[in-house]
């Protein structure tokens, strides 16, 4: 731990930073965005150089793992420059790994450059294996392109974890098949509950499917063995005896995992969110731009970490139709 390590009021060491590099996306997933989205003006975004400087400051403050996310990170122009700059820092200071969460649409093109930059593991979001359903969920995605991206990533040597949002009446019937398919192709799969983030066009109570229910159904088909495997995130894993693969559950709604939270998130405008589920935030862009040195930035980070809340309190119920948190997941970065 560096001397200036980030330890919050509850004794949690912050070692994981998720960086959203754009709020834009080539998809409009129904649980994530509205059809008509207003995106930030480009001038509000941190430049690639500023993003690099910000990440480097966090690495000096004890961040060991960086995840680049969005919006869709691979649609940001010149994004490889950021991966290359960060990749060069792996193993030199405290930084252990750089990862990315992507919808896979551009992966065919980026798989090899990502590997060459030092990325070894990626998360690909995939909610269905059915072409028509994929189009319906993403509103504009092509399943074939994502599949080609997955193949290219595996050929390049990237390990893939699939993230699948469990959606009631949409993909719940397909989950067992997706698990078998992922495991047969040497990929872990993690199921995620929908979280009430940002206005979408539909009703979230229609989509919400508690993973406790999914797990109970899966137990009728598979033997699920709890295992202590962790990737530094909130997922809890089981081994599926029949396939030999790993299955993760991220259950923000039915199980509160905040006590072991080691992460903070920064948006593409340099706003630091200490908790995905709370509104409190700190602006890091002003101190970043105020001087060439990092003193003001470091001070702003310390002040923010001192305010990191104990946890979130997400609720999805029919009495409150408003989202618990107004900003979309694509702003804070999933």
- The residues of the shown chain that bind ligand SF4, judged by CB under 6 A, are 25, 27-29, 32-33, 70-72, 103, 125, 330
Instruction: Choose, by CB under 6 A, the member of 15, 125, 128, 251 that binds ligand SAM.
Output: 125
Token digits for 46?
A: 């941190």
- For residue 7, the 8-state DSSP code is B
Q: Which is nearer to ligand SAM, 163 or 262 (CB)?
A: 163
Instruction: Choose, by CB under 6 A, the member of 99, 101, 128, 271 that binds ligand SAM.
Output: 101
DSSP notation for 36-67: S-PPPPGGGSPPHHHHHHHHHHHHHTT--EEE
Give the number of other Cβ atoms within 10 Å of residue 86's Cβ.
23
Collapsed DSSP state (helix, strand, coil) of residue 207: helix
Is residue 69 involved in binding ligand SAM (CB under 6 A)? yes
Per CB under 6 A, the segment of 36-44, 107-115, 193-201, 272-280 that binds ligand SAM is: 193-201
Nearest approach, Cβ of residue 332 and ligand SAM (Å)? 8
Closest CA to 163 of 206, 244, 99, 119: 99
Q: Which is nearer to ligand SF4, 125 or 190 (CB)?
A: 125
Q: Which is nearer to ligand SF4, 32 or 276 (CB)?
A: 32
Q: Could you say which of ligand SAM, ligand SF4, none residue 235 binds, taking C-beta under 5 to 8 angstroms by partner kind? A: none
* Cβ–Cβ under 8 Å, residues 18 and 263: yes
Nearest approach, Cβ of residue 240 and ligand SAM (Å)? 20
Q: Could you say which of ligand SAM, ligand SF4, none residue 195 binds, taking C-beta under 5 to 8 angstroms by partner kind? A: ligand SAM
Contacting ligand SAM within 214-243 (CB under 6 A): none
- For residue 318, the 8-state DSSP code is S
DSSP notation for 93-124: SS--EEEEEE-STTHHHHHHHHHHHT--EEEE
Nearest approach, Cβ of residue 56 and ligand SAM (Å)? 22
Collapsed DSSP state (helix, strand, coil) of residue 305: helix
Instruction: Choose, by CB under 6 A, the member of 45, 57, 170, 192 that binds ligand SAM.
Output: 192
Q: Which is nearer to ligand SAM, 68 or 274 (CB)?
A: 68
d(C-alpha 110, C-alpha 156), whole Å: 10
Is residue 166 involved in binding ligand SAM (CB under 6 A)? no
d(C-alpha 143, C-alpha 130), whole Å: 8
d(C-alpha 235, C-alpha 165), whole Å: 13
Nearest approach, Cβ of residue 87 and ligand SAM (Å)? 19
- C-alpha neighbours within 13 Å on the C-beta side of residue 74: 21
Instruction: Choose, by CB under 6 A, the member of 6, 22, 31, 170 that binds ligand SAM.
Output: 31
What sign does the CA torsion over 153, 155, 160, 162 have? Answer: positive
Is residue 197 involved in binding ligand SAM (CB under 6 A)? yes
Nearest approach, Cβ of residue 25 and ligand SF4 (Å)? 3
Is residue 267 involved in binding ligand SAM (CB under 6 A)? no
Nearest approach, Cβ of residue 151 and ligand SAM (Å)? 18
Place of tokens 């299955």: 247
Is residue 249 involved in binding ligand SAM (CB under 6 A)? no
Place of tokens 């990092």: 294
d(C-alpha 102, C-alpha 74), whole Å: 7
Nearest approach, Cβ of residue 92 and ligand SF4 (Å)? 31
Residue numbers at the binding site for ligand SAM (CB under 6 A):
25, 31-32, 69-70, 72, 101-103, 125, 163, 165, 192, 194-195, 197, 329-330, 334
């Amino acid at each position: 731990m560096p001397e200036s390590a980030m330890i919050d009021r509850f004794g949690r060491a912050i070692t994981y930073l998720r960086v959203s590099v754009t709020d834009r996306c080539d998809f409009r997933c129904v649980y994530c965005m509205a059809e008509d989205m207003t995106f930030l003006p480009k001038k509000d975004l941190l430049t690639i150089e500023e993003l690099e400087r910000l990440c480097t400051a966090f690495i000096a403050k004890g961040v060991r793992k960086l995840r680049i996310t969005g919006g869709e990170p691979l649609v940001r122009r010149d994004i490889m420059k950021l991966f290359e700059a960060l990749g060069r820092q792996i193993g030199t200071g405290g930084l252990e790994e750089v990862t990315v969460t992507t919808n896979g649409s551009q992966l065919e093109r980026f798989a090899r450059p990502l590997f060459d930059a030092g990325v070894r593991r990626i998360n690909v979001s995939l909610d269905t294996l059915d072409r028509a359903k994929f189009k319906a969920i993403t509103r504009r995605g092509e399943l074939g392109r994502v599949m080609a991206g997955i193949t290219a990533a595996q050929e390049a040597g990237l390990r893939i974890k699939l993230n699948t949002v469990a959606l009631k009446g949409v993909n719940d019937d397909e989950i067992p098949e997706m698990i078998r398919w992922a495991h047969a192709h040497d990929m872990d799969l993690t199921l995620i509950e929908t979280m009430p983030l940002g206005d979408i066009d539909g009703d979230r109570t229609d989509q919400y499917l508690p993973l406790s229910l999914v797990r109970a159904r899966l137990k009728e088909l598979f033997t699920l063995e709890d295992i202590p495997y962790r990737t530094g995130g909130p997922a809890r894993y089981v081994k599926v005896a029949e396939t030999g693969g790993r299955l993760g559950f991220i259950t923000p709604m039915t199980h509160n995992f905040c006590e072991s939270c080691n992460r903070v998130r920064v948006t593409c405008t340099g706003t630091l969110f200490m908790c995905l589920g709370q509104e409190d935030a700190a602006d890091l862009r002003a101190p970043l731009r105020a001087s060439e040195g990092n003193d003001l930035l470091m001070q702003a980070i310390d002040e923010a970490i001192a305010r990191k809340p104990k946890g979130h309190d997400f609720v999805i119920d029919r009495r409150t139709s408003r989202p618990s948190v107004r900003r979309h997941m694509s702003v804070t970065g999933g």
